[in-house]
Amino acid sequence: MTASIDTPTGINVYCPGDGRLVGTVTDMGAAAIGDVCTQLRSAQPAWEEMGPAGRATWLLRWLDWLLDNEQRLLEMVQSETGKSWADASMEMAVAIDVINYFAKNAEKFLADRVVKPAGIANSVRRLRVQVRPYPLVGLITPWNGPLGGPMMDVVGALVAGAAVVSKPSEVTPLTWAEVTRGWRDEVEAPPVLACVTGAAAAGAAVVDNADMVMFTGSVRTGRAIAVRCAERLIPCSLELGGKDPMIVLADADLERASSAAVWGSMTNAGQACISVERVYVEAPVYDTFVSLVTEKAAGLRQGMDAPGSFSCDIGAMVTASQADIVQRQVDDAVAKGARLLLGGSMKPGGRFFEPTVLVDVDHSMACMREETFGPTVAIMAVRDEDEAIALANDSEYGLSSSVWTRDPRKAQRLARRIEAGSVSVNNALVATFQLPIPMGGWKNSGVGTRFGGARGVLKYCREQSVVEERFALKSEPLWYPVGPVKSRLIAKAARMLGAHDWRRRLGRPGR
């Protein structure tokens, strides 16, 4: 397959499904990106002044434009990713949900918070906390979701009142460049959202110009961004890799669990940080579960189907380097004793890696320790729930997970033992897209969260405490001049109000 090749002036984008050239974007330099950021900053104060209701109106107009252009935009998604039409369509569903949710709740999430004063001495004051957006948010997103990925974060930042400079992956930049063009040229929204294109240097320029950074991608790049943000003393939120475990207990509904294992591991050709990558099954039901998974995975239809046809289940691997990682992990597992029940290699014609089922795996194998990001599922038998939990937690990652059992109490107990940012009970991936609750990773899976109700907006804001006096006295007791009578009275009052027994309130000597 043809790979993306940088030209002196731009970056070519090729379709992973058939190799054709689908577009070219500019490889922007730091100076050009700096100019874009300057323009965004100049427009941001008016955007903030508009208030949450005014900003929500523009977001809903943007949504109207997205829906009016849905077919064309999803064809762009498919062309630059090689997705199946079903996987491409999911990206518009994400955009619809996120825009509607944050637009509907913007005023409530950003409302001032009135706080009760602490202590009698402060009862004469009114306390509130108000929020102000970071003027410029930098958003850097990966190649696996050209439309849905940026939408998961950009809406909260815009609703908050920030301007946003966004950089999509140089591998799949076309859809997001068009979506931001629609905001600017078709919706004619305020100029507070821009897309800059380029490779690693462009991403570094975004980090160097922003006041807050939201990054989704690899652990290695996330660490580098965190270091640079620390040097600049600006905050960052990082959603990084995953190696998500699925625990199937003996009392689980195996028909449902096996279907979830196939969908959770294969959707988007496994190219999702929340994919099911390793499954731990209690020994009494292991053989049955493996048989069900293998049968269902064998029935998957793979390819890049015609727009609107919904005739394929999964599509292509977006990059050749990621396909190489998947192949290396499969080969490593087989060399160390794993059995390959299905798939295991690239198909001829197009960058399509076969749906793959590995069994008899263990934690000496790369497929159980490294992020795979491909259409594979590795299944391991365990003695009991304790071994399953121990193995699930034996990972540098902690993003998502799932527990499968008919016993609700058991599910709740095990969920508290899993070291991951989210746990789905008797479902796969579902906890990730619940907008009222946070999505975030533990350990090397990231810092910070996305979504989480109001937190999905407030993460892009700075808190500002405001204290107002109920009564404007001519002077305060602690103000100058200092005098012995006044100071002793203040000390006695503090003791009287703060001590918990009469001896100490009255200042009597200890026994």
Examine the residue annotation and report whether 178 is marked as an active-site residue of this protein.
no
CA 194 to chain centre: 20
Q: What is the dihedral of CA 195, 199, 203, 204, to 10 degrees?
A: -140
Q: CA-to-CA distance for 333 and 376, rounded, in angstroms?
A: 12
Of residues 379, 407, 392, 387, the one with CA closest to residue 251: 407
DSSP helix/strand/coil, 378? strand
Q: What contacts 149, CB < 8 A, 6 or more positions away?
A: 91, 141, 142, 216
Residue type, 29: G
State how far the Cα of 67 lies from the Cα of 179, in Å rounded to an integer.
Answer: 11
Query: b vs e for 241-280, b when ≥16 Cβ sit within 10 Å of the residue's Cβ?
Result: bbbbbbbbbbebebeebbebbbbbbbbbbbbbbbbbbbbb
| Phi–psi pair at 238, nearest 5 degrees | -125, 120
366 close to 411: Cβ distance less than 8 angstroms: no
Tokens, residue 454: 């109001």
Q: Tokens 């930049």 label which residue?
A: 173
Structure tokens belonging to residue 317:
């691997």
Please spell the DSSP secondary structure of 415-439, one letter per residue: HTT--SS--EESSSSGGGG-TTSEE
Burial of 64 per CB tally in 10 Å (0-12, 13-18, 19+): exposed
Which residue is it, tokens 């005023």?
107
Residues 393-426, buried b or exposed e (16+ Cβ, 10 A)?
bebebbbbbbbbbeeeeebeebbebbbbbbbbbb
Q: What is the dihedral of CA 119, 125, 129, 130, to 10 degrees?
A: 180
Residue ranges of the alpha helices (H) in 315-424? 320-335, 385-392, 408-415
What whole-number distance in Å separates Cα of residue 168 and Cα of residue 355?
28
**49 contact partners, CB below 8 Å, separation of at least 6:** none
Residue 315, CA distances (Å) to 12, 233, 306, 347, 496 in order: 21, 41, 12, 12, 73
Catalytic, out of 80, 178, 239, 282? 239
Specify the amino acid at residue 137: V
List active site positions: 239
